[in-house]
Structure 1
Amino acid sequence: MRCAILGLVAGAALLQNQASLWPMPILLLLLLLSLISFVFTCKLDHVAIRVACCLLGGAIAGFAWAGLYAHYHLSHELPKEWEGRDVTLVGTVDSLPSSMEQGVRFNFAVETVVEPQDAAKAIPPRLALSWYTAFRPEELQAVGKVLPGERWQLTVRLRRPHGNANPYGFDYEVWLLEQNLRATGYVRPDANTRHKNQRLDTFVVSPRSIVERSRGWLRERILDALPDKDYAGVIVALVIGDQRSVNQSDWQVFNRSGVGHLISISGLHITMIAGLFSALAFSLWRRSFFTDLDLPLLLPAQKAAALAGGCIALMYVSLAGFGVPAQRTLYMLSVVALALWVGRISAVSHVLCTALGLVVLLDPWAVLWPGFWLSFGAVGILLYATVGRAQSHSMAQQTCMGKTFLSLKAASHTQYVVTIGLVPLTMLLFGQVSLISPIANAIAIPLVSFVVTPLSLAGSVLPSPLSAWVLGCAHLIIESLAGVLAWMSAFPSAVWTAPLSSWPAFMAALIGTLWMLAPRGWPVRWLGVAGLVPLLIARPTHPDDGQAWVTAFDVGQGTALLIETPHRRLLYDTGPAYSSESDGGNRVILPYLKARGIDTLDAMIVSHSDNDHSGGALSILREIEVKKLMSSLPASHSIVTQSSQHEHCLAGQQWEWDGMQFEMLHPSVENYDNAKLKPNGRSCTLRIAIGSQSILLAGDIEAPQETDLLRLRGEELRSTVLLAPHHGSGTSSTKAFLNAVQPQLALFQVGYRNRYHHPKTEVFERYASLGIERVRSDDAGAVSIVFNGNNNGDAVTWKEYRKEHARYWYGH
């Protein structure tokens, strides 16, 4: 059974890496064949053959099951012809709403389509909606107070699921698929619709509505009791698993110190609470609740305790939103409780594998998320490392001091095993390991798990003012702990970083780790350290001599490109700011740089002040070293004041990196002196020559600036690759300018269905009429370009992320 479950996980993981889904009839046939094969496998006598057959049969079943699951979810897709059309719906709010500066976000379960009637079969059953206070300046509107379980009539404008597609970035599209949210959209203002947006019912009873309303009630109680408290969001996360209120700066501290796993409803918290209620139920049941009912004669106290613990665990996991760590713990506790009820003692490995199989059966996409592998990996490595370590401690157990010593020794060994055992996986997934994690966790685990969490749970349900006192005490402890963790994480050596490991390096590290943690009696276990060396000393990759790499990120409606020479790196623009805490810098660019092991930029250019070009700059300046900033921003701008060295872009500036020529073509002194000129007109325009090839980064210059460049530079503008000026707007990319540049490839960094309608159809076709290859980031995702200098073969090659990393959910 365990081999079959491991095969099931492998098969599901294989399916999630497919570019397209196999037809449903074939998947059904595979699933049937795998089930038949299990029947015959059970009759095999040869152990090795039976194990191999179980693994293969499980893999086929996992592949087929995950494929059928995906077919079902994709069948609810919003048809393309319904994108951008207004639809009036009636449905219920079936998630905990998330507040933002511009309004509120929530999931909406559709019940009926009011208008137009022909949309009834086209609208998916669940939608991800945003209700903005002002989607456009001229559309100011009041946003309703949305609560889980309410029934609303809303007029919405929808689009198909789409997210930014970048190497090492978060895949929003598959996350939506996992949640069965097959369309996203926003609520239209009443002034622009025939039907008024209105609440129809205050509460519609359903299991999901009850759970989500309860979560919302608890969140409001906590936030009301802790107004304007810095760590109120942490208390919320510990009680209901909603991490959205935790500040990004706090997450940085928690992650650097290695305690991020505690800032939510973790498996440890669920086990602790379930165990506490189980022990209480056992004690009361044995005493028949101090009555004469003789309850243990009706049901053994152990079974009553197991039932109570299981129910509490289910309730707590529901509050957590059924995250993978919470699911894993719930299923493991449930299997143990079931084994107790039927009178069979299960091995820990059987319990773990059963939980593993249940998670993948109920959510085949769980294998895509780091939490899945870290959660099960931690338990698995503990099981492996404790084999053969049981010892007789009868003498030590005779005294209180002996018991204390053994407890401390066991806790220390557990922390050591988890810290060392997860190094290969952590480096593979995140490219960093917290060196202060053992100390930080030794402090944080007992405080958070045994003090803060119980206080937070109690305070969230106690009546006022007692709730405020208890929650205030929990907040004080978290605040003090965060201060200690911030101090520890500020040390330069707090975190070991390296590029994301290759599979060979990961396998070597895994073997080395297993060798080090092998059971007692294994020879020279310290030799396992050698397996970690390749993974820990890996250095960032870089272009060969004469080469240059350009990565044009998919940041939505905005611009961001990374230019790499053999020994230098330059970032041109930083993408937009999506909200006060989310921008192209921390959501797209920094994850890519950290995954590559890049912690320094030799230069960063912010072409001009518009949000879609400068929005991520502050995040980058806070996180990594930027040796020099160049921009057209005024000296008082916050980006300039945060930089260590700033220089205005100015036509005529030139420098050389690794034999490659960089020249600033625009703006001029006159452009800075012209107060009437828009920021677009001052865009830093950079040309980079790599041997006989070149790339022209034109920012948001428009037709007047193009005319000036033609007059001053003429044929010097010729470039192999052109970043389309102003995202292909109707005010740029004149025919004369394109004839002068004569690019082989044009990059259009635009957002999917952006409200500016960039690139304009006539402009996009103008490029095509001149024989220029066109690549749009909303279709291609990130674009990676390689310049091979003077090589006359494939001098310039490029790859589109959505094609190179094709997945079956792209394009749906």
Structure 2
Amino acid sequence: MRCAILAFLAGVCWLQTRAELPPPAYLAGALAAALVLFLLRKRAATLLAAAILGAAWSAWLAHVALADALPREQEGRDVTIVGTVDSLPHEFDGGARFHLRVERVLTPDAAVPPRIAISWYGQPGATEGLTPVEPGERWQLVVRLQRPHGNANPYGFDYEAWLLEQGVRATGYVRPAGPRNVRLDAFVPRPGHVVERARAALRRHILRELDGKRYAGVIVALVIGDQRGIPQSSWDVFNRTGISHLVSISGLHITMVAALAAWVMSALWRRSFFVEGAALPLRLPAQKAAALAGALVALLYVLLAGSGVPAQRTFYMLAAVAAALWFGRVVALSHVLCLALLVVVLIDPWAVLGAGFWLSFGAVAVILYANLGRVQPDAGWRRTLGMAVRTQYAVTVGLVPLTMLLFAQVSLASPIANAVAIPVVSLFVTPLALIGALLPAALAGWVLGLAHLAIEVLADGLAWLAASPLAVMNAPAPQPWIFVLALAGTAWMLAPRGWPHRWAGLAAWAPMLTQLPSAPPAGTFSVTAFDVGQGMALLVETERHRLLYDAGPQYGPVADAAGRILLPYLRGRGIGALDALVVSHSDVDHAGGARTLLEGVSVAQVHSSLSAGHPVVQAARRHSRCGAGQAWSWDGVRFELLGPTPQSYEQVGLKANARSCVLRVSAHGKAMLLAADIEAAQEMQLIETAAGQLRADVLLAPHHGSGTSSTAAFLAAVEPRLGIFQVGYRNRYRHPKKEVYERYASLGIRRLRTDESGAVLLRFGRTLDVSEFRAERRRYWHGR
């Protein structure tokens, strides 16, 4: 059974790597083929049949999910709908974000998917006199929708896949439509709404009692699994110390609560506490009653947790153990784990795309493998403590290859941090948080305050530990053969006692831990134009140097392109330092991520046109103003700043765009011109002062292709073969402007847009090689 389930999983994983879904007609043939293979009753044939079933099942669910796509012609149209709030709303400065289950579409000829993700900017109801949205409410809203779309970058988060897993087939926002945005019902009774309303009430209760506390979001996460209230600065500390798995409703917490419920039920049942004089154990054995109570409490906790993959896995395993005990069966834990895995991928085949799936099941698999033959019932406290230490060692070592594959880093501080954090969070903070969440306000403040104090003291210690440069080891994400070799070495190290030379397995880690970031050959360079939405960010690499041109936009008060896109990419490549950062000018779509970038990676030099008092200038280790005439060479590659002019800094009132840093990078007769947001006047100035230096094979379209830039004279002077437009999908500026985009085409210039191509990689050598991330890593849900 276990091998067949793993083969089914392999089929599911294969399907999630396809660029196109197999046609529905093929699925019937696949089922017939699987049936024939099963009837052969051969092991290999059975495994192949299970894999075919996994792929076919996933494909069928994908066809069903994608059938509800928003038609392209409906994008950007104002539509009036009626629906219920179907998720726990996330409130942020300036609005709220939530899922809406659509019940009716009131606009004629409009087609809207049954589940959509909505943002409501401005305090919901601020002008209409209504209260903020709550789960289970029925609203009539005027919304503007678009098809699912996310930034597409190497080592980045696939937002479109996440929306598909959530059953969301359109995103949008509420339009300011006055009385047409109205709450129709305060609560629509449905099971899902009851659960989400309970989660909302618990969150509100906790935040009210911990108002203004630094780690109130952590307490909320431990009670209801909502991690959105934890700031990025705290996540940085938790990730560097390897305890982020504890800052949620983990499998350990669910198991602990279920075990406590089972123990209490068993004690009460044995004493026939519920009915005076009743011999309850004679009617139902106490073990069965305890198993049922534990499973039910675990289910309730999982529902409150938002049913994440680790929580689901834990509940299915507990339910399987409870069922085995109820029916008097003996099952191996490895069978229970595989059964839980099967249920998860049957319900949600897209779960395999998330890191949590692999880390959750991987951790349990490592524990079972490492403790094979070592579990001793009724062991003393010394043996129990020794088992706990060996288990922590096994999980720490066993997940290193997977952590390096998923995050390109491993926390060296994790063993120390977890040795303290696991008992503090699991045995002290979590029980107090759960009790405090259920107590009335008069008592809850003291209990929740004590839980918060413990987290605060722990977090301060972790922050000190995380500040050490030795807290984390970074290396490029391993290639497949390196990852498999490291897994084999890990299995050797964690083999049962008596296995020869277990320490030798560490040698298999050497290729994984000693990789160096890839780099272009000497005398050549590469440029990665990231898909950051409506903004700019490009990484220029030579043989031994790296320069980032602009740092992308700021998306919100605590989110920017550096945190979401640039730093994950640099970590994935194993890049821990940059030789230079050029911030072309002060607009937030160019400088918005610079502070976060400077905090996340070492930057030797910052060049910019920013004022001396700008926060980026203040945070820079070394800073210099951009100025025409500055030039340097790295590894046979020449860098030239063509603008702005030194005199422009003296012109009071000059627009930031007009003072953009213009950079030309060239080698072997190939060049790229990075023109930031210069406009027609600056283009003409460059033609007059640097006409002989403008020619380039690739042009980063000035000002994202706005109507004020890319004049015919400038394009004629540059003579690009390729134009790159860094723009956001359906951006509000409507960049690139139609007439400008067509101007490039009329001159025979190839055009690439990051909203369509994703990140674009350019390799400048004897030839110019171009690759588009969406084309090379296309999946069946992209653009659907």
Fold match, TM over 0.5? yes
Question: Cα deviations across residues 518-576 of structure 1 (Å, max 9, x unaligned)?
Answer: 11221111111110111111111111112211000000000000000001000000110
Instruction: Give the 5 Å matches for 1:282-321.
Output: 282-289=266-273, 291-321=276-306
1:476 is aligned to 2:460: no
Alignment of 1:645-794 (within 5 A): 645-788=622-765, 791=766
Alignment partners' CA distance in 1, 2:96 and 2:409: 34
Determine the structure 2 residue equivalent to 1:12.
12
Matches within 5 A, 1:390-539: 403-539=380-516
Per-residue deviation, 1:347: 0.8
Q: Distance in 2 between matches of 1:686 and 1:559?
A: 13
C-alpha deviation, 1:134, in angstroms: 9.0
Which amino acid in structure 1 is aligned with residue 75 of structure 2? E
Report the CA distance shift for 1:465/1:134 in structure 2 as closer, same or farther (over 3 A): closer
Equivalents in 2 of 1:3, 1:639: separation in Å? 55
The answer on whether the counterparts of 1:3 and 1:54 sit within 8 Å (CA) in structure 2 is no
Paired letter, 2:74: W
Q: Distance in 2 between matches of 1:166 and 1:176?
A: 17
Deviation at 1:294, TM superposition (A): 1.9
Per-residue deviation at 1:24?
1.1
SS in 2 for 1:651: coil
Tell me how far 1:382 sits from its aligned partner. 1.3
- Change over 3 Å in CA distance of 1:773–1:140 after alignment to 2: farther
2:299 maps to amino acid: L
Counterpart Cα distance in 2 of 1:85 and 1:142:
26
Partner of 2:112: 123
Q: Does 1:611 align with 2:588?
A: yes
Q: Give secondary structure in 2 for the equivalent of 1:355.
A: helix
Change in 2 beyond 3 A, CA 1:770/1:663:
same
Aligned partner of 2:27 in structure 1 is: 27
Deviation of 1:296 (Å): 2.0
Q: CA deviation at 1:390?
A: 5.0
Q: Measure, in 2, the Cα distance between the counterparts of 1:756 and 1:750.
A: 10
Q: Against the structure 1 CA distance between its residues 142 and 669, is the aligned structure 2 distance closer, same or farther, given a 3 Å change threshold?
A: farther
What residue number does 2:251 align with?
Answer: 267
Q: Which amino acid aligns with 2:47?
A: L
**Corresponding residue for residue 113 of structure 1:** 105
Task: Look up the match of 1:805.
Answer: 777
Q: Quick check: 1:131–1:143 contact (8 Å CA) kept in 2?
A: no
Contact 2:140-2:182 within 8 A present in 1 as well: yes
Q: Are positions 1:149 and 2:141 aligned together?
A: no
5+ long unaligned stretches in structure 2: none
Which residue of structure 1 aligns with residue 57 of structure 2? 65
Q: Which residue of 1 aligns with 2:566?
A: 589
How far did 1:339 drift?
1.1
Distance apart, 1:705 and its partner CA: 0.4
In 2, the alpha carbon distance for the partners of 1:622 and 1:334 equals 45
**What is the CA–CA distance in structure 1 between the aligned matches of 2:128 and 2:568, rounded to whole Å?**
36
1:558·1:612 contact (CA, 8 Å) conserved in 2?
yes
Q: Which among 67, 81, 86 is matched to residue 75 of structure 1? A: 67
Matching residue within 341, 346, 366 for 2:351: 366
Paired with 2:215 and 2:28, the residues of 1 have a C-alpha distance of 50
**Would you identify which runs of 4 or more consecutive aligned residues in structure 1 move more than 6 Å?**
139-143
Cα deviation, 1:690-711, whole Å, max 9, x if unaligned, reads 1100000000000000010111
Aligned AA for 2:321?
Answer: V
What is the alpha-carbon distance in structure 2 between the residues aligned to residue 332 and residue 150 of structure 1?
34
Give deviations 1:322-348, integer Å, cap 9, x for gaps: 111000001001111111122211111
Partner of 1:132: 121
Q: Hey, what's the Cα distance between the residues in 2 that align with 1:712 and 1:221? A: 65
Counterpart for residue 89 of structure 1: 81
Tell me what 1:251 maps to. Answer: 235
> By how many angstroms is 1:408 displaced?
1.6
Q: Which residue of 312, 315, 321 maps to 1:330?
A: 315
The match for 1:103 is 95
Determine the C-alpha separation between the residues in 1 that align with 2:35 and 2:439: 51
2:361 aligned residue: 376
Q: Residue deviations 1:417-475, cap 9 Å, x none?
A: 11111111111111111112111111111111111101000000101210000000000
Distance 1:483 1:370 in 2: 27
Q: CA deviation at 1:140?
A: 8.6
* Deviations 1:48-72 (CA, angstroms, capped at 9, x unpaired): x42x223211111110011111111
CA drift at 1:117: 2.2
Contact preservation (8 Å) 1:103, 1:143 = no
Aligned mates of 2:158, 2:737 — CA distance in 1: 28
TM-score (norm 1): 0.95
Q: Identity, % of aligned pairs? A: 58
Name the structure 2 match of 1:280.
264
Instruction: For residue 298 of structure 1, report the CA deviation from its aligned partner.
Output: 2.4
Q: C-alpha distance in 2, partners of 1:67/1:250? A: 39
Rounded to whole Å, the distance in 2 between the matches of 1:674 and 1:515 is: 68
Letter in 2 for 1:784: L
CA contact (8 A) 1:417 1:517 kept: yes
1:37 aligned residue: 37
Aligned partners of 2:115, 2:272: CA distance in 1, in Å? 47
Distance apart, 1:35 and its partner CA: 4.2
For 2:432, the aligned partner's letter is L
* Partner-residue secondary structure (3-state), 2:559: coil
Bigger drift between 326-335 and 436-445 goes to: 436-445
Amino acid at match of 1:375: S
For 2:476 and 2:711, the matched residues in 1 are separated by 42
Quick one: distance in 1 between partners of 2:435 and 2:152? 43
| SS state at 1:111 partner | strand
Q: Structure 2 CA distance, aligned partners of 1:671 and 1:334?
A: 71
Q: Distance in 2 between matches of 1:797 and 1:142?
A: 58
Whole-Å Cα distance in 2 between the matches of residues 255 and 34 of structure 1? 43
What corresponds to 1:400 in structure 2?
none
Aligned AA (2:57): W
Query: CA offset at residue 293 of structure 1?
Result: 2.2
List per-residue Cα deviations over 1:372-418 (Å, max 9, x = no partner): 11111111111111223357x99xx6xxxxx2321221111101111
What is the Cα deviation at residue 28 of structure 1?
Answer: 3.2
1:233–1:246 CA contact under 8 A, matched in 2: yes
Give the SS at the match of 1:29: helix
| Pair 1:684–1:143, CA change in 2 (3 A) | farther
Aligned-partner SS, 2:435: helix
* Structure-1 separation of matches of 2:645 and 2:503: 63
Once residues 761 and 782 of structure 1 are traced to their aligned partners in structure 2, the CA distance between those partners, rounded to angstroms, is 22
* Contact 1:35–1:61, Cα closer than 8 Å, also in 2: no
Amino acid at match of 1:179: Q
Normalising by structure 2, what TM-score?
Answer: 0.98
Is 1:159 aligned to residue 151 of structure 2? no
Residue of structure 2 aligned with 1:627, choices 600, 604, 611: 604
Aligned equivalents of 2:94 and 2:28: distance in 1?
Answer: 46
SS of the residue 1:117 aligns to: coil
Aligned partners of 1:715 and 1:741 also within 8 Å: no
Match of 2:217 among 233, 238, 250: 233
| Match for residue 185 of structure 2 among 198, 201, 205 | 201
Distance across 1 between alignment mates of 2:692 and 2:420: 66
